[in-house]
Amino acid sequence: MFNSKIINMVEDTYLQGGNIMQFLSSVNQGGENSREAILLSYDYQAGTYVAAYKKNPAPLERYTKQISDEIGKLGEFTNILEAGVGEATTFNRITSNLNIAPKNSYGFDISWSRIKTGNDFLQECSFVDSNLFVADLFDIPLSDNSMDIVYTSHSIEPNGGNEKPILEELYRVTSKYLLLFEPDYEFASDDAKRRMESHGYIKNLYATAKELGYKVIKRELLPFSTNPLNPTSVIIIEKQSISKPKNIFRCPVSKTELINAGEIYFSEESHLMYPVIKNIPCLLKSYAVFGFKYVL
């Protein structure tokens, strides 16, 4: 879908202050935002979230305090994942409020530029040894039941129409709780609903979770949202897993164990390799390279 002409037009749209997602949706002529559109949109905007936080940290501090409070009520856990971590601004505040050791905190995003920005931001905040990596919400490169707590913060948002496959992946990865801090169409005003429709946002997270038979233990609107036209609700899903895997990472293609070999992540069973670029594991299916002769 995307060629050099489209990419140049994306850059022009961004520089002129236009909405990249809407531009790409018009090019795609489809009702849903494609993964490529989401990737290009967020990658070109990398740095804007960190800049906004540094300019005015108060709204995010207030917003993330709500998330930390919800997670804190769930009891003890050994590791946590933010799916769609972006530039790690939300991730930084939540993990800091919860006093989670960096080695037990994970986050991924489809955009390498956002992960790079997030890593730089975490270094500024003295949050070292963070486990951020590039991945896709539809093909999370983590083993079943590998994370005690999985949460999202407006990262499912642009994937209207794809609620079911995304929820299934997030539920697969968690072992205890899945918390969704996402826009809630049913709780939104008429103006907010029109905005969500125009951006191709999700509408049916709660209904989809119930349809899948998940145990929803809480659903309510948060007292504070950073954007009144994009109100955030919390949906908490409980899961009782039998056991946790020994290895956290798995190949998104073959679903076999991934080993961190420093320069790459490697599956001995499928012989697929994934690059590590500037200390960022790139674990998208499209990055896979077959390496039968690679030896650990």
Name, in order, each residue with C-beta under 8 angstroms of 276's C-beta and a sequence gap of 6 or more: 262, 263, 264, 265, 282
- The stretch 251-259 carries a mean pLDDT of 96
Are 167 and 209 within 8 A, CB to CB?
yes
Name, in order, each residue with C-beta under 8 angstroms of 238's C-beta and a sequence gap of 6 or more: 176, 177, 215, 217
| Nearest C-alpha neighbor of 170 from the set 82, 90, 54, 256 | 82
Identify the pLDDT of residue 29. Answer: 46
The pLDDT-based confidence of 13 (bands split at 50, 70, 90) is: low
Burial (CB count within 10 angstroms: exposed 0-12, middle 13-18, buried 19+), residue 189: exposed
Own/partner contacts of 118-122, CB < 8 Å, gap of 24 or more, are 118/50, 118/85, 118/86, 118/87, 118/88, 118/89, 118/91, 119/88, 119/279, 119/280, 121/50, 121/87, 121/88, 121/89, 121/92, 122/88, 122/91, 122/92
Kind plus residue range of the DSSP H or E element containing 10:
helix 4-15
The pLDDT-based confidence of 243 (bands split at 50, 70, 90) is: confident
Separation CA 89–CA 46 (nearest Å): 12
Identify the pLDDT of residue 27. Answer: 53
Identify the pLDDT of residue 126. Answer: 86
- Percentage of the chain with pLDDT > 90? 72
Separation CA 273–CA 282 (nearest Å): 10
Separation CA 179–CA 70 (nearest Å): 9
The pLDDT-based confidence of 21 (bands split at 50, 70, 90) is: low
Identify the pLDDT of residue 31. Answer: 45
Q: Please state the pTM of the whole predicted model.
A: 0.88
The pLDDT-based confidence of 256 (bands split at 50, 70, 90) is: very high
In the predicted model, what is the mean pLDDT of the chain?
Answer: 89
Separation CA 169–CA 173 (nearest Å): 6
